[in-house]
Every structure is written in structure tokens, then in C-alpha cells.
Amino acid sequence: MTAAEPDAAAAPADIRPPVWSHAGIGLVVVLLLGVLAWALAENVPGWTEGTALEEIGAAVEYPVYAIAVGLLGNLLLSVLGVRDRLSGGFRTEFFIKTGLVLLGASINLSLIVDSAGRAVAQALLLVSAVFLFTWWLAGRLGLDDKLRALLASAVSICGVSAAITAAGAVQARKEQLAYTASLVILFALPSIFVLPALADAFGLDAAVAGAWIGGNIDTTAAVTAAGALAGEEALQIASIVKVTQNALMGIVAVALTAYFAFRVERTAGSPRPQAIELWRRFPKFVLGFVAASVIATIYLNNASASTGPETIAVANDLRTWFFVFAFVSIGLEFRVGALRQAGWRPVGVFAAATVFNLVVALGIASVLFAGFEF
């Protein structure tokens, strides 16, 4: 087995035919574990009060419990031999995107407008730099062009979603997609905890920390988890930056389709990528995120000073639940076997690209979001 040909058994839930009854049970597992994680987040500070663990108990927030509970659930289901069968219910993308649409309701439209220019500039610079670096490095290490495209898209844009889109654009094989998706989660998990800690250690203000987190962590769910750990303002900027990067996915997909059709494969009669592809591959939840902000901003401008914020607080509570379920799903989707199946070259490319992304994103965020006021 070569690095480019990992075991097909590694295929994540997304790329196997779903068995709906199993997926339904998987969904129930996610919901139950989410309730457990929430119960821990609510009660551990009280349980540890007055003990040696009081400070830790007070500091640990719900994303940590949700991911930890997901990982433990993953271990338990793997030992029982049912994890793969239930994995169709681990819908990280659905939960996180629904949560992000609801998050849009808590972000005043003026914040999106004020930060949009910087977010677009950062996304364009960062996606271009990281994509080209990853593509170049993977080429130097002799990786297959399709795997190069998947790795570069995943690292530079938005993780698993981008890998899925790129896989369709370059006609990749499902094993390559499964492998890339596993790598994304493998690298995203530590980033959730490391980046907020580093942002704190570097003394970054909320906007720069948020822009750094949003520009650096690959997968949208992990960005949200890290942003939530860094604070509400950092979460808002991280989400705006990540949503902007998501919006570039369609453009990259069309560019990849054209590049592979005309340069890499050169098949006679390959259909030209059409403009409609931009819309087809555009992540629609971005529209939902902006629409929610518009709706909530209009609502708040017309509601009373007391009822308006109270109502939006309900949306925030519901949003948190969707995030809890998404973070539990991240833990459940984690596959330790990916490293063994990968070989060192793609892992090396991904690691190097992540470090490159880390440094470049910090530089760009520090310049573009310096002095940003909420």
C-alpha cells in the first residue's frame, strides 16, 4: 500500500452508503453524549469547588467536555465494534453549519460589514499562499496530483468540506478523500486547544486572535470550538473569517476543475467548467449566516431594549447545543488509524502546511485586524 492508496476501510461516514437505521442510532448516540457533555460543563465547577481541582474545574469549558466525551464514546464504540456502523449519524457538518447560521443572529450586521473587507483580504492572501505552498511541497515529495489538490484545498480553505469539493472537482478516489478527511481531524483536534492558549500567551487581542484562529484551523467545527475557548468576540471574528474562506471554496473548485481538465488530464472533449458551477459549489450556509445577521439586526432595531436581547439569547442557547453536538461528533469521527495508513509523506506535507499556515495567518491577522474595534 502506498501513501496515496490508504486502506479503503478508513472511509469516513460521509463516503460510505448510509444505512439509515444505523445512522439514526448514531444520531441518538451523539445527542445523548451531547447531553452528558453539557451536564459535565454545568456541574463540574460545582463538584470541584473547594477541592484541589477547583481552578481546573472552573476553567474547562463546554467544547473540551464535548470533544473529550466524543473521543471516549469513539473508544467505547470501537471496542464494541459498532463505531463504523453508527458513523452515518455523526453529522459534524450539519450541526456546525446550523449552529453557525444561528450564530449569525448574534452578530450585528455592522460587525460583518466592518470586518468584511479585512476578512476577504485575509482569505484571499491566506488561501492563495497556503494552497500554493502545499501544492508545491506535495509535488516536491512526489505525491499524486489529485492527492495534492485534496491536501492543498483542505489545509488552505476549510478542511473536510473543501476536500469533498476538491475531490469532486479533480475526480479523486474515495480512498484519497477518506485519507484527507482523517488527516484534517487529526490535525484539527490539537489546534482547538493549542491556538487559544498561544493567542493568550502572545497577548493577542480578541480580533487578532479570532482572525488567526479562523484563518488557521482547517475545519469549521474546530475553528468554532477554538473560538469559543478564546471568548465570544474572538468567536465572532473567527466565524466571519472562516465563513469568508468557505465562500472561496466554489472559486477554488472551479479553478481545480479547469486545471485538471485542461492541464493535468488533457482529455479530449472534457466539458468546460461553467459559471453555474460557482453557485453549485458555493457553501449555502454562508448565505444563511448573513441572512440570520440581517434578520436579527432588523429585529433588534424594532424590538424593545429588554425583549430583543432576551430573544437573541434564546438563539445563542440553541446555537450552543448545536456546537456541543458538532464537537461530540468531531470526537466520534477521530481515527487514530489514519497515521498508520498514510505513510510519512502526506502527513509531513500536512504538518508543514499547517505550520506555514500558522505563521502566515498570524502575520496577516496581526496586520489586518490590529486595532479592530467591536
Partner 1 sequence: MSDGDTATPGVERARRIALNEDWAATIAGLALLILILAGVITADVIP
Closest to partner 1 by CB, 321 vs 334, is 321
| 130 lies in the binding site for partner 1 (CB under 8 A) | no
Residue 315 interacts with partner 1 (CB under 8 A): yes or no: yes
Nearest alpha-carbon partner for 365 in 199, 161, 162: 199
Instruction: Answer yes or no whether residue 121 interacts with partner 1 by CB under 8 A.
Output: no
Residues between 317 and 336 with contacts to partner 1, criterion CB under 8 A: 317-318, 321
- Give the nearest distance from C-beta 87 to partner 1 in angstroms: 13
97 binds partner 1 (CB under 8 A): yes
- Choice from 91, 242, 335, 345 touching partner 1 (CB under 8 A): 91
According to the binding rule CB under 8 A, does residue 44 interact with partner 1?
Answer: no
Contact with partner 1 (CB under 8 A) among 41, 155, 177, 186: 177
Quote the cell numbers at residue 290.
448573513
Closest distance of CB 120 from partner 1, Å? 21
Contacting partner 1 (CB under 8 A), which of 62, 285, 323, 325? 285
What's the rounded Cα separation, in Å, for the pair 16 and 87? Answer: 10
Q: Is 93 in the site for partner 1 (CB under 8 A)?
A: yes
Q: What is the nearest approach in angstroms of partner 1 to the Cβ of residue 278?
A: 14
Q: Give me the least distance between CB of 39 and partner 1, in Å please.
A: 9
Closest approach, Cβ 148 to partner 1, in A, equals: 12
Which 196-255 positions form the footprint of partner 1 (CB under 8 A)?
none
Does 141 participate in binding partner 1 (rule CB under 8 A)?
Answer: no
Nearer to partner 1, 130 or 160 (CB): 160
- Selected from 36, 72, 94, 141, the binder of partner 1 by CB under 8 A is 94
CB of 289 to partner 1, least distance (A): 8
Q: Whole-angstrom Cα distance, residue 63 to residue 213?
A: 15
Q: Which of 57, 120, 136, 144 binds partner 1 (CB under 8 A)?
A: 144
Give Cβ neighbours of residue 367 (< 8 Å, ≥ 6 apart).
none
What whole-number distance in Å separates Cα of residue 140 and Cα of residue 356?
16
C-alpha 304 chain-centroid distance: 36
By CB under 8 A, residue 143 contacts partner 1: no
User: Residue 140 interacts with partner 1 (CB under 8 A)?
Assistant: no
**If binding is defined by CB under 8 A, does position 84 make contact with partner 1?**
no
273 binds partner 1 (CB under 8 A): no
Q: Give Cα 245 distance to the centre of its chain.
A: 11
- Choose between 295 and 339: whose C-beta lies nearer to partner 1: 295
What residues from 157 to 176 belong to the interface with partner 1 (CB under 8 A)?
161, 164-165, 167-168, 171-174
Among 299, 348, 352, 367, binds partner 1 (CB under 8 A): 299
Would the CA dihedral through 366, 159, 176, 285 be positive or negative? Answer: negative
Q: At which residue does the C-alpha cell 482569505 appear?
A: 123
Q: Considering only CA atoms, which of 122, 126, 182, 173 is closest in space to residue 149?
A: 173
Residues of this chain that interact with partner 1 (CB under 8 A) are: 4-5, 11, 14-18, 35, 38, 91, 93-102, 104-105, 144-146, 161, 164-165, 167-168, 171-174, 177, 264-265, 267, 280, 283-285, 287-288, 291-292, 295-296, 299, 310-311, 313-315, 317-318, 321
